[in-house]
Amino acid sequence: MPEVPRPVFLSGKVMLDDGTAPAEPVVLERVCNGIARPEGFTDSKGRFSFELGRNSAMMADASVGSARDPFGDPNMGFGGGRMSSGRGGALGGSDPRLLGCELRAALAGFRSDVVNLSQRRSLDNPDVGTIILHRIGNVEGTTISATSLSAPKEARKAYEKGIDAMRKSKWENAQKQFEKAVAEHPNYAAAWYELGVAHQQQQRPEEARKAFAQALDADPKYVKPYLNLALLASSEKKWDEVAKNTDTLIRLNPIDFPQAYVWNSIANLNLHNPDAAEKSAREALKITPGVPKLRHILGLALANKGDYAGAAQEVSAYVQAAPQASDVELARKQLVEIQQRAGAPQK
């Protein structure tokens, strides 16, 4: 009989570098050999406690894991389900499932301390201590709204109940709790944002758009709603709105949201602004160089500028790197046309 891996539990606290607890939930990530997986959230006092690997039911919005997910898919790069099985958790040595792994808090605009998990054993004390989030100096926007600090007790209580319902995918219940929160505290930007997410999950784009707009009215430097508004606008091909919202997000936080650069590039392609499209595509590639689709977008931007040799190189790289992509046949046709215009031999 194969040995059943023992569960690994972790607990601790996340604090900001000013000594306060985050006013909103922060995601805890396990990063193993460069691959990040969400494992749990902090509570209202910044505390966390979870079993590693039991994250399959976790909900992640577009802002979570942004550095790994330039197209808004919260599952990209995370893998899924439980940690890999295999023999582990022996009392006499570290758990091989945790080799090359670290624990960190993920919050846009902040750099996290990390906890090395490589030497942990399943029966070790689960308390990893306090993880400090350090504010990045050149980021103006925030993912923790200042309006959360002034929320009265009843509003915070409803907000926390809404967050709990969202993690269980109980969207209607979550919606009701966030509506209670904003009724108690009309400038509660985080609650307006989560209300918008709840509407999105229930296929109510117009209600979602209004909630996100209310969040920005309450706190214009609260960056989360800008990307959601851009994604809603992209589904309706309102490219000027996509460009406007992503421009603002990039200005407020140029580091943590490669999705903003991607959609800004796509919007500018459709608005016939190839210089801006190229600039955003290159910035996205700096943050997430391993995403093949970015080469395709950059290639189209270069083609629109008349740089057919450069465009052919980028689109060809995409076709080779992603032969099973749903749009690869379209990319191949575009590559043939680009090569013809460049006067290059077809491959």
Q: Mind giving me the DSSP string for 182-206? A: HHH-TT-HHHHHHHHHHHHHTT-HH
> Do 318 and 295 form a contact (C-beta atoms < 8 A)?
yes
The 3-class SS string of 280-303 reads HHHHHHHHCCCCHHHHHHHHHHHH
84 vs 197: which has the higher pLDDT: 197
23 vs 271: which has the higher pLDDT: 271
Whole-number pLDDT of residue 142: 82
Give residue-wise pLDDT tens across range 106-163.
888 888 999 998 888 777 889 999 999 998 877 888 888 889 888 999 999 999 999 9
Output the six-digit token pair for 92.
Answer: 């006499």
Q: Looking at 11-15, 72-76, 333-337, which range is the least confident one? A: 72-76
Say whether pTM exceeds 0.85.
Answer: no
Whole-number pLDDT of residue 55: 62
Whole-number pLDDT of residue 250: 95
Whole-number pLDDT of residue 5: 62
The mean pLDDT of the chain is: 84
Q: Is the dihedral of CA 181, 182, 186, 191 positive or negative?
A: positive
State phi, psi for 12 to the nearest 5 degrees. 165, -155
Percent of the chain with pLDDT over 70: 85
Whole-number pLDDT of residue 345: 55
Q: What is the mean pLDDT of residues 278-300?
A: 92
Whole-number pLDDT of residue 120: 81
